[in-house]
């Protein structure tokens, strides 16, 4: 009797847990996509500064800040490549 009661309660808990996990999926992929496209979402990356994987630091910025850093780096590289030596 106690075994059947335990199994029954376990099944109820399992069904309730599955229903709770299914609710965010019911909102659709739009909610997930909105979070991924959010420019204020924080993203952390490992930056390797040396010749070894052990020499690294962790940098956390928003998606918009990472895009701005990428743009600034690209602009600096373009400037260095297009500037003639000695014509500063």
pLDDT tens column, 3-51: 565 555 555 655 555 555 544 444 555 666 668 788 899 999 998 888 8
Widest distance between CA atoms in the chain: 91
pTM of the model: 0.53
pLDDT at 55: 83
Closest to 47 measured CA to CA, from 30, 60, 62: 60
pLDDT at 2: 59
Buried b (16+ CB within 10 A) or exposed e, 43-56: eeeeeeeeeeeeee
User: Between residues 14 and 83, which one has the greater pLDDT?
Assistant: 83
pLDDT tens column, 67-80: 999 999 999 999 99
- Residue 59, C-beta contacts closer than 8 angstroms, at least 6 positions apart: 44, 45, 46, 47
Where does the pLDDT of residue 65 fall: very low under 50, low under 70, confident under 90, or very high at 90 and above?
very high
CB 5 within 8 A of CB 30: no
């Amino acid at each position: 009797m106690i075994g059947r009661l335990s199994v029954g309660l376990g099944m109820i808990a399992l069904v309730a847990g599955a229903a709770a996990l299914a609710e965010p999926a019911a909102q659709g992929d739009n909610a997930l996509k909105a979070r991924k496209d959010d420019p204020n979402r924080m993203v952390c990356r490992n930056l390797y500064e040396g010749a070894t994987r052990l020499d690294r630091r962790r940098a956390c910025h928003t998606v918009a800040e990472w895009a701005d850093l990428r743009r600034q780096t690209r602009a600096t590289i373009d400037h260095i490549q297009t500037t003639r030596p000695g014509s500063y």
